[in-house]
Amino acid sequence: MARLMIAHVAAAAALALAGPALADADAAAGQKAFQGQCSTCHAVTPGTNKIGPSLSGVVARPAASVPGYKYSAAMMKSGLTWTAGELDIYLAAPKETVPGTKMTYAGVKDATKRSDIVAYLATLK
Ligand code: HEC
């Protein structure tokens, strides 16, 4: 089930990147969730780092690659690339996925909300 969800999210985000069609993940709902849960720490404009790094263009970029942002050693060594699937796993449980991360956030337990947030992240240039 978890694997199916991840495959589903990956497919939804791939569609989001490819064009207007977007399976059934809801980027508008994701944007609302993002504003409620992530925007205190994350800007979506390029080059604006807050407590966390800018998430502009985050989908498909390597972890810990925003210039000028001071990442934890754990994130720098994670070797992750933020595909939709990795984002889904990370956002479900940040501290389990990257032990030692300085993102002090418990995670998004709801799979639908997570896929909506990832769909929104995929719209960020
Ligand atoms: C309390 C502040 C805080 C909140 C809330 C928060 N984050 Fe973070 N986030 C951080 C910090 C700090 C880092 C850097 C982690 C590190 O270096 O270990 C980070 C890192 C990340 C990264 C990796 C970025 C990169 O460049 O490698 C992603 C993706 C991310 N956060 C997404 C989210 C999303 C989506 C939400 C909301 C669901 C969220 N974060 C909520 C503080 C936060």
- To test ligand 1's pocket by mutation, which of 32, 34, 37, 38 has the most ligand atoms within 8 angstroms of CB? 38
Q: Which residue has the higher pLDDT, 8 or 112?
A: 112
Nearest to 65 by CA among 82, 51, 50: 82
SS3 84: helix
Backbone angles phi, psi at 62, to 5 degrees: -65, 150
Condensed to tens digits (0 to 9), the pLDDT of residues 4-54 reads: 555 555 555 554 454 433 467 999 999 999 999 999 999 999 999 999 999
Q: What is the pLDDT, as a whole number, of residue 20?
A: 39
SS3 117: helix
Other CB atoms within a 10 A radius of the CB of residue 107 amount to 15
35 lines ligand 1 (CB under 6 A): no
Across 40-50, b (16+ Cβ under 10 Å) vs e yields eebbbeeeeee
Condensed to tens digits (0 to 9), the pLDDT of residues 78-95 reads: 999 999 999 999 999 999
Helices (H) and strands (E) in the chain, counts: 6, 0
Q: What is the CATH number of the domain that holds 93?
A: 1.10.760.10
Q: What is the pLDDT, as a whole number, of residue 22?
A: 44
Q: Measured on CA atoms in the order 32, 33, 37, 41, is the torsion positive or negative?
A: negative
The tokens describing 28, both together, are: 């508008």
Distance 7 CA to ligand 1 centre (A): 22
117 lines ligand 1 (CB under 6 A): yes
Structural domain harbouring 90:
2-121
84 lines ligand 1 (CB under 6 A): no
Nearest CA to ligand 1 atom 41: 38
What's the structural domain count of the chain?
1
37 lines ligand 1 (CB under 6 A): yes
Condensed to tens digits (0 to 9), the pLDDT of residues 57-73 reads: 999 999 999 999 999 99
Query: What's the predicted TM-score (pTM) here?
Result: 0.86
